A and B are shown apart, each in its own frame.
Chain A
Amino acid sequence: MTGRERIRAVIAGELPDRVPVAVLATEHQATVANVPLGDLYTDPDKAITAWKKTLEVYEGVDMAFAPETGIGYLAPFPDSHSSWFFRWVLPSVGSNEIPQMIEEPIISGDEYPLLRERGLLYFLRPDRPDMDTFLARVAKLGKRQKEIEKILDDKQLWNYASSVISVATDLLANFRGLQGYLTDFIDRPDELMKTAQWLQPSMIKAGLEVNIFNNPDNTVAIGANRCSPTYLSPAMFRKFIEPLFRNVLNAVLEAGRTPVLHLDGNWTPLASWFLEMPPHRMIFHLDDMNDIHAWKKALNGHSALMGNVPASLLSHSTPQKVTEFCKKLIAEVGDGGGFVLCNACSMPIDAKVENVRTMIETAHKYGRY
């Protein structure tokens, strides 16, 4: 089977020939290509070269990720990662500093009506990226589109996502700062939710219509963190977040797309909530705060799981310990199918290449069905 066939089988609830394996490399591509991360953020050619190099070094993976490190931070896109609206400090040329958001309240609790009335463009940051530089980058990516598509086609890799839709409360958490956002659920829930409901349809529209490359797997990443049970109780999730989340999922499914749920924070207490969604239509990429074994039990074959090899293990441990950890995931979470072995969230820049290779080799060696 090809990587694409393997992962399509996993999502469809069918048994592939072995456990698929994936590396969401993001910033780690700089380490693989031996180029400072900041260079990938400022030079699209270097970014694409690093992406190609990463696919070569990690030969044997079944999945490809977006071929443009940093574009999510650099685009004026309605998402919590956009440096057009939020104070993201991005690496400069020659630097290996990873992107960091300076979390500070932008609006007060009384200014939700102002946000709705004036719209997001009223909040364009003074230190936003340069528009012409951004447009030139998009044009460069467009020029190399055919080359990228050929690589993906030749390798027959399944594509993680070409676009993203976040739950709107994640964006509002950035506008209010974490403390203000959380207390707003108590102090002014109506204003918070009215604003989230105003934002969400546009965020869905943008996510469905704007794709950074031609994606034959029709996938869309759904991002959610600040509405996870790490911050809100399951009861609060049901009361406030469920309608938003359901709208996002339904919109993606109705568009005939495959949701890739990139869930940061510990979503384990809500795993069974997802049983209310149609089976065999989506895949959950879990970070290492989740108990993926409890997820496996809760979903019981309803949907596919991906993850959750911890960042700390890949950065600071040994190939032997990586093998042990991955063998356990393969044996227990991979039992009967429905599992893709992958790093939790995104790969840390300082992950050891030998550890990542070991993760891939473990899937090939011990993941056969």
Chain B
Amino acid sequence: MSETREKLLKKLEELNFYHAQLAENKSEKEIQEIIRKLERDREIIKNIYKLEIFK
């Protein structure tokens, strides 16, 4: 596994519970896109609701 892929997977693991199935058979570029969407969705939801349970 390349160092970049390893870093991406670690980041994905920190971001989302379903990281293993999300990353399965995905390219680095695809994992980057999953991370981007997750980060964007999380940020939007946090801003809409401002709830403690949405960390």
Contact = CB atoms under 8 A, between A and B. Distances in A.
Same complex origin of A and B? yes
B45 A119 contact: no
B7 interface: no
Identify whether the interface residues of A are mostly helix, strand, loop, or mixed. Answer: helix
11 contacts: A76-B48, A78-B53, A84-B45, A118-B55, A121-B54, A123-B18, A126-B16, A126-B18, A198-B53, A202-B49, A205-B51
A89 B44 CA distance: 24
B11 interface: no
A126 B22 contact: yes
Interface of B: 15-18, 21-22, 37-38, 40-42, 44-46, 48-49, 51-55
A173 to B, nearest CB: 16
Contacts of A122: 15-17, 55
Given A125-B18, A126-B18, A126-B22, A119 B41 contact: no
Contacts of B54: 78, 119-121, 202
Interface string A110-142: 000000001111111110100100010000000
A205 B48 CA distance: 12
B55 A119 contact: yes
A202 B52 contact: yes
A27 to B, nearest CB: 26
A199 interface: yes
A253 interface: no
A123 B17 contact: yes
Contacts of A209: 49
A121 B42 contact: yes
